[in-house]
């Protein structure tokens, strides 16, 4: 019997799971709204009791579950978002990799094409600064992101178990006023991302370097990566050409759950501890104060100013923390 040929895989989803509440719905919508046979899913399981890996593999094709170890460095088995993601990234061989939070839900088969269209749009508009990653917009915006009081999140439209084609058209084609300072405009590309559904060009990401293990449990790793990417000449882009629903900051149901996985001596989240006052999500600025000029690098070790070649900046290096 001849071997059945499988379609090429274009993308790998890397999902770090710390508590088990959202992964079922995440996977359900991922497989419902992503082209069949076009992707792999790597789950990094660092939950306390462990996911039912056998059931997940029997339910969803092309899915791998990696159970993190309990070690002297990570006695709870919690590697954090950064190192957990890097564990998955070390196995990726597809042209794209999506760094996906488990509290994200997909809402339309058109989400992937919207991301690809954004890569193309950035390439056309700024060919000297292509996108390294594209992150869909979220239907839910957390309170802190839009200047609201705690618990008063903003919804572009209400949460639904199923969004219609007309809902998708509304999301993509209509403007969305959020407050007096912000309206999400159709076809927008926005520099700077939060790593909740970030589709990355794998080759470019490997060039820039993966997420820094320094950040634990994961605070600030998105800004750090955006800064390094900017100095390589790449853009980290948010887009309104594609949408998902991100529940935002719902990983833990209680402080007790959080404490059970905490490793206080590893906790790092202050960008100044690594970068001092030089960090900017678009890349480190020239200290000679000429507008918005950013330093550039080719090797990731030193960066120079294109206008002042004598300004040499030593780039803070990523930390590698062994398991």
d(CA 212, CA 265): 17
Contact (CB, 8 A) for 206 and 100:
no
DSSP codes joined into one string, 170-192: HHHHS-EEEETTEEE-TT-EEE-
Contact (CB, 8 A) for 221 and 212:
yes
Predicted pLDDT of residue 218: 80
Contact (CB, 8 A) for 100 and 24:
no
Q: Indicate the SS3 state at residue 288.
A: coil
d(CA 66, CA 84): 10
Predicted pLDDT of residue 254: 55
Would you give per-residue pLDDT tens digits along the chain (323 residues)?
A: 344 455 578 999 999 999 999 999 999 999 999 999 999 999 999 999 999 999 999 999 999 999 999 999 899 899 999 999 999 999 999 999 999 999 999 999 999 999 999 999 999 999 999 999 999 999 999 998 888 998 899 999 999 999 999 999 999 999 999 998 899 999 999 998 889 999 999 999 999 999 999 999 887 899 999 999 999 999 999 999 999 999 987 665 556 666 667 788 888 888 989 998 888 888 888 887 666 788 999 999 999 998 888 889 999 999 988 87
Predicted pLDDT of residue 157: 97
pLDDT in tens, 235-274: 999 999 999 999 987 665 556 666 667 788 888 888 989 9
pLDDT in tens, 107-133: 999 999 999 999 999 999 999 999 999
Could you tell me how far CA 281 lies from the centroid of its own chain? Answer: 14
As to burial, measured by CB atoms within 10 angstroms (0-12 exposed, 13-18 middle, 19+ buried), residue 9 is middle
> What homologous superfamily is domain 11-266 in, according to CATH?
Spore Coat Polysaccharide Biosynthesis Protein SpsA; Chain A (3.90.550.10)
Neighbouring C-alpha atoms within 13 Å toward the C-beta of 79: 25
Q: How far is CA 66 from CA 17, 47, 52, 218, in A?
A: 10, 11, 12, 19
Q: How far is CA 109 from CA 4, 73, 85, 92, 168, in A?
A: 25, 41, 25, 23, 10
Predicted pLDDT of residue 56: 97
The two three-digit tokens of residue 88, written as one number: 């998955």
Largest Cα–Cα separation, the chain: 69
Contact (CB, 8 A) for 38 and 30:
no
Domain boundaries, the chain: 11-266, 284-323
Residues 6+ apart with CB under 8 A from 111: 33, 34, 136, 242, 243, 244
Contact (CB, 8 A) for 170 and 223:
no
The two three-digit tokens of residue 163, written as one number: 């969004």
Indicate the pTM of the whole model.
0.93
Predicted pLDDT of residue 1: 39
Contact (CB, 8 A) for 227 and 275:
yes
């Amino acid at each position: 019997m001849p071997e059945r040929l499988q379609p090429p895989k274009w993308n790998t989803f890397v999902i770090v799971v710390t508590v088990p509440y959202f992964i079922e719905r995440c996977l359900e919508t991922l497989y419902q709204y992503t082209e069949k046979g076009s992707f792999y899913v790597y789950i990094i399981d660092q939950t306390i009791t462990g996911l039912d890996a056998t059931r997940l593999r029997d339910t969803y094709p092309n899915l791998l579950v990696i159970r993190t170890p309990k070690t002297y460095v990570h006695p709870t088995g919690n590697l954090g978002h950064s190192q957990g993601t890097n564990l998955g990234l070390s196995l990726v061989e597809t042209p794209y990799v999506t760094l996906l939070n488990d509290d994200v839900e997909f809402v339309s088969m058109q989400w992937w094409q919207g991301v690809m269209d954004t890569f193309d749009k950035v390439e056309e508009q700024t060919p000297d600064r292509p996108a390294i990653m594209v992150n869909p917009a979220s239907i839910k915006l957390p309170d802190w992101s839009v200047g609201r009081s705690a618990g008063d999140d903003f919804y572009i439209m209400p949460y639904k178990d199923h969004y219609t084609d007309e809902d998708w058209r509304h999301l993509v084609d209509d403007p969305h006023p959020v407050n007096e300072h912000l309206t999400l405009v159709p076809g927008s590309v926005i520099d700077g991302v939060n790593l909740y559904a970030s589709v990355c060009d794998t080759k470019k990401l490997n060039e820039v370097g993966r997420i820094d293990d320094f950040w634990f449990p994961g605070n600030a790793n998105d800004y750090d990566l955006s800064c390094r990417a900017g100095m390589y000449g790449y853009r980290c882009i948010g887009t309104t050409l594609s949408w998902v629903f991100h529940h935002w900051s719902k990983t833990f149901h209680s402080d007790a759950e959080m404490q059970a996985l905490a490793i206080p001596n590893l906790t790092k989240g202050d960008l100044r501890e690594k970068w001092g006052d030089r960090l900017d999500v678009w890349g480190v600025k020239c200290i000679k104060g000429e507008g918005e000029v950013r330093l550039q690098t080719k090797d990731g070790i030193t960066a120079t100013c294109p206008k002042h070649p004598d300004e040499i900046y030593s780039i803070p290096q990523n930390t590698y923390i062994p398991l």
